[in-house]
Chains A and B, each alone.
Chain A
């Protein structure tokens, strides 16, 4: 089955720095990945997704990189702001499944 996990439980950065949150997955058949942001007391909020036919996708201040060779993806946040403080989850799906598997999350703490 799919196993999705994150390398670090907590990441602390200074306001204005770039943040990189990493995620590894185990199923080489995984072909769809999503990043979510979850603030305290709220549901996860969709940030960006990427399909396996791509290795990079950019959004507003965010970039997701996918390395299928080592089964790794990362979320890069440019010019991190205090409002970016939250738990970030990666999720992956494979084999045509419409049910993503979620990792445990990385807590991003942005210091002003």
Chain B
């Protein structure tokens, strides 16, 4: 079946502009995560959505970053007034809802490579 889909795959924009990154999770996956990966680094957690619960925004680096998930499916990560340090690959992942406390592995998209000039 279809995996996690992210768009665009690449985005180049000027400093100060706003950008929107899109994630289509695997159908039926209620958990959705956004991560940021800088060159040669591990994954930095940004935000987590689980069903209709309030999202865990504890990883968002500043108030320029926001995300929403409409209808429990597609998610959009928005970065306002972009800065050069925002340049990175933004990865989205989804997973089945945990049940009985049993966590499920995440399945990742191929990311959006964001470059701020």
Contacts and interface: CB of A to CB of B under 8 A. Distances in A.
Interface of A: 32, 34, 36, 41-46, 49, 89, 91, 93, 96, 98-105
Contacts of A36: 108
A45 B43 CA distance: 13
A31 B95 CA distance: 18
B71 interface: no
Interface of B: 4, 31, 33, 35, 40-43, 45, 48, 50, 56, 59, 91, 93, 95, 98, 101, 103, 105-111
Contacts, number: 49
A81 B109 CA distance: 24
A99 B55 CA distance: 12
B42 A43 contact: no
Nearest to A43: B108
